[in-house]
Amino acid sequence: MPLIDGCIHPWPAGDSSLRRMALTARELGFDQVVAAGGSGDVPGVLRGTIISAPSVKEVVSALQGIPRGEGVVMVTSGDLAFNRGVIGLRGVRVLRGLFKSPRGAFNHVAAREAEARGVAVELDLAPIVEGRGVQRQKVIARYRELLDLHRRYYFPFTLASNARSVLAQRSVRDIVLLARLFGMEEDEVTGALSSLDTILAGRSPVQVVPG
Amino acid sequence: MTQLPSQRERRRYILARFEPEGLSPDPREVYAAVAEACTALWGDAAASEISPSVMAGEGHAIIRCKRGTEDRLATAIATVTRIGAERAALRTITTSGTLHAIRGRMHPKAEILWERKVGIGGRVFLARGFSGQKVDLVEKGIKGQELLFFADEDGEVR
């Protein structure tokens, strides 16, 4: 299963070109990256689109501008009603930024729906790497809650560096260690890093294997 | 009085590479960055248990800790984003119980293969080519030094 960094932001949003970030990702143990922005056709890069909108209606109109099946559509999360609405939309692959959403914005109902629709929840590692003090503690606590829901309802996770520079990209080994901070085991990390491959292929994240 | 090797405290050594290429910061600044990262992530008590110390050389740092704390140190190293005033990353290469084994894994400092001036968006940068198709662009302005990271095949640096 290919290991995929869930989101990077190359030049001009960041200080590193898409090619350079793809080279660095390969050095750090990844097979693919999802790039929100950047130009050029680069091997090992999946195109990503981020939709940040205040209402589900505006997400729907933004989705109409994206050809179906093209790249990875990621929507920035909001409150519970917004998140449930977004999870139900065709074409949405990832719900991102849940650490910024209000408490209760992703509950067991949303978790069940995400599992049924094959929508992943992104765990952004940037606030863990760059944050300090209370801000980082809150993010770790939030990810622990999400991990608890994940273990009960099996919705997919993605792990993203959200790097805007090669200096912010981290290796697979580093990500395993960082994910341990909120209690994620190594096999769960591997599963999260390769979940996009399953989602994009349209396979169910949980497969029944005959005994 | 010297201790027998078997009675000495067990240590582990982590070899890490500096990024960007060619960065060779002052070892004291590397220590300050690692110690801050350990304290911020694990707290004072755990940082004293890890007890990191740093030997920095050309392009590399060797960071020593007490045995059993190397994973916690490696996690803290992953959260280093600045060394002194410079934006930087420490890439962990390997962990070992002896300095001898660590030194065997050190690579020579990245060499600059070529240099030329390039213009991007009306600004002039000094482009430096490194092995592995990497090109670092440095703009020296009055507000300090801006760094961009590109690759050989990017249209901007051709």
Query: What integer pLDDT is reported at residue B109 of this predicted model?
Result: 75
> Within 13 Å of residue A142, how many CA atoms lie on the same side as its CB?
23
- Give the mean pLDDT of chain A: 93
Q: How confident is the model at residue A211 (pLDDT cuts 50, 70, 90)?
A: low
B120 and B89, same structural domain? no
Residue B144's pLDDT is: 64
Measured CA to CA, the distance from residue B21 to residue B100 in angstroms comes to 24
DSSP string, chain A: ---EEEEE--TTTSSB-HHHHHHHHHHTT-SEEEEES--S--TTEEEEEEE--SSHHHHHHHHHTS-TT-SEEEEE--SHHHHHHHHTSTT--EEE-GGGSPTTSS-HHHHHHHHHHT-EEEEE-HHHHH--HHHHHHHHHHHHHHHHHHHHH---EEEE--BSSGGG---HHHHHHHHHTTT--HHHHHHHHHHHHHHHTT--SS-PPP-
Interface residues of A toward B, Cβ cutoff 8 Å, are 11, 15-17, 19-21, 23, 27-28, 40, 128-130, 132-133, 136, 165-171, 173-174, 177-178, 180-181
**CA B4 from chain center: how many Å?**
33
Question: Looking at B59, B86, B104, which one is the last position of a domain?
Answer: B104
ipTM: 0.92
Q: Both B61 and B118 in a single domain?
A: no
Question: What pLDDT was estimated at residue B139?
Answer: 86
Output the pLDDT for position B107: 79
Query: B118 — phi, psi (to 5°)?
Result: -135, 150
Gyration radius from chain B CA atoms: 19
Residues of chain A with pLDDT > 90, as a percent, come to 87
Same domain, B96 and B18: yes
Q: How much is the pLDDT for B7?
A: 78
Residues in chain A with CB shorter than 8 Å from the CB of B19 are 166-167
Give the separation between CA B38 and CA B35, rounded to whole angstroms: 5
State which residues form the domain around B146: 114-157
Q: What predicted TM-score, i.e. pTM, was given to this entire model?
A: 0.92
All domains of chain A in start order, with CATH: 4-200 (3.20.20.140)
Q: Which two tokens stand for residue B71?
A: 């994973």
* pLDDT single digits (tens) A130-152: 999 999 999 999 999 999 999 99
What is the pLDDT at residue B105? 84
Please determine, for residue A70, whether its predicted confidence score (pLDDT) is greater than 90: no
Tell whether B15 and B83 lie within a shared domain: yes
Q: What pLDDT is recorded for position B57?
A: 78
Min Cα–Cα distance to chain A from B9, Å: 25
Span B21-36, mean pLDDT? 92
Higher-confidence residue: A40 or A30? A30
Considering the domain boundaries, does residue B5 fall inside one?
A: no
Predicted confidence at residue A210, as pLDDT, reads 63
Q: Above 60 in pLDDT, residue A164? A: yes
Query: Are residue B29 and residue B59 in the same domain, yes or no?
Result: yes
Burial-class residue A96 by CB neighbours within 10 Å (0-12, 13-18, 19+).
buried
- Let me know if residue B50 belongs to a domain: yes
**A10 close to A38: Cβ distance less than 8 angstroms:** yes
Q: A129 and B78: CB-CB below 8 Å?
A: yes
Q: Are residues B119 and B144 in the same domain?
A: yes
A51: pLDDT strictly greater than 60: yes
Chain A contact for B86 (CB, 8 A cutoff): no
The closest alpha carbon to A143, from A97, A187, A206, A205, belongs to A97
Candidates A17, A166, A181; nearest CB to B154: A17
Classify A117 in phi/psi space as left (phi over 0), alpha (psi -120 to 50) or beta: alpha
- pLDDT of A142 reads 97
Please check whether residues B97 and B33 belong to one and the same domain.
Answer: yes
Same domain, B60 and B100: yes
Q: Is residue B55 part of a domain?
A: yes
What is the Cα gyration radius of chain A? 16
In this prediction, residue B142 has a pLDDT band, given cuts at 50, 70 and 90, of low
Average pLDDT over residues B84-113: 89
- Tell me, what CATH number does B59's domain have? 3.30.70.3250
Mean pLDDT, rounded, of chain B: 90
pLDDT at A208: 58
d(CA B156, CA B147): 14
Do B75 and A165 make contact, defined as CB atoms within 8 angstroms? Answer: no
- What's CA B150's distance to the chain center, in Å? 19
Contact A166 B149 (CB under 8 A): yes
- Answer yes or no: is pLDDT of A81 > 90: yes
For chain A, say whether B135 makes contact (Cβ under 8 Å).
yes
In this predicted structure, the answer to whether residue A205 has a pLDDT above a threshold of 60 is no
Window from A77-81, A101-105, B54-58 with minimum mean pLDDT: B54-58
For A136, left (φ over 0), alpha (ψ -120 to 50), or beta?
alpha
How far is the C-alpha of A146 from the C-alpha of A201, rounded, in Å?
Answer: 24
Query: A206 pLDDT band (50/70/90 cuts)?
Result: low
Contact B42, B76 (CB under 8 A): yes
Q: Is the pLDDT of residue B41 over 80?
A: yes
Same domain, yes or no: B21 and B59:
yes
CA distance A132 to chain B (A): 6
